[in-house]
Structure 1
C-alpha cells in the first residue's frame, strides 16, 4: 500500500518526495518544459501504477513551492530553475 504521509515503514521509492525528484529529473531531460500527458506517461514508465496515485500530489507540491508554472493554452508545465 502506498501512502502520501510517510511513516517509519514507508519505502523511499514509494514516497511523494521520491516522485517529486523523478519529476524534476524528467523536466531536466526535456529542457525544463513538458506536456502534462508526456510527463505522466514518462513517470508511469518508471514507477508503474503508482503514478496514478502520486502524479497529481507531486505536481501540486511543486506548484505550491512555486517551482512550476502551467500554461493552459499549450498544456505545458515548466520547471523554474
Structure 2
C-alpha cells in the first residue's frame, strides 16, 4: 500500500481539529486511557495504561499511515 499523505489544509471545525499525534499529547492520552470507564468500554489493551503504551500507540498510528493502512489522527 501507499503512504496516506497528511492533509495539506488543517482539518478542523469550530469544535475540533485533527492532526498527527505528538509527544506533547502524552499527558492527555495517558489521562484518558487510565479512566476506568474508557478501559471498561472502549480500550482492550494494557491496564494500567503507561507512558510506554502511549508512545507505542503513537508510533503504531504513524506506521499504519506510512503503510497506507489507516490514518489515525489526534483530536485536538
The structure carrying a bigger helix percent of its residues is 1
TM-score by length of 1: 0.26
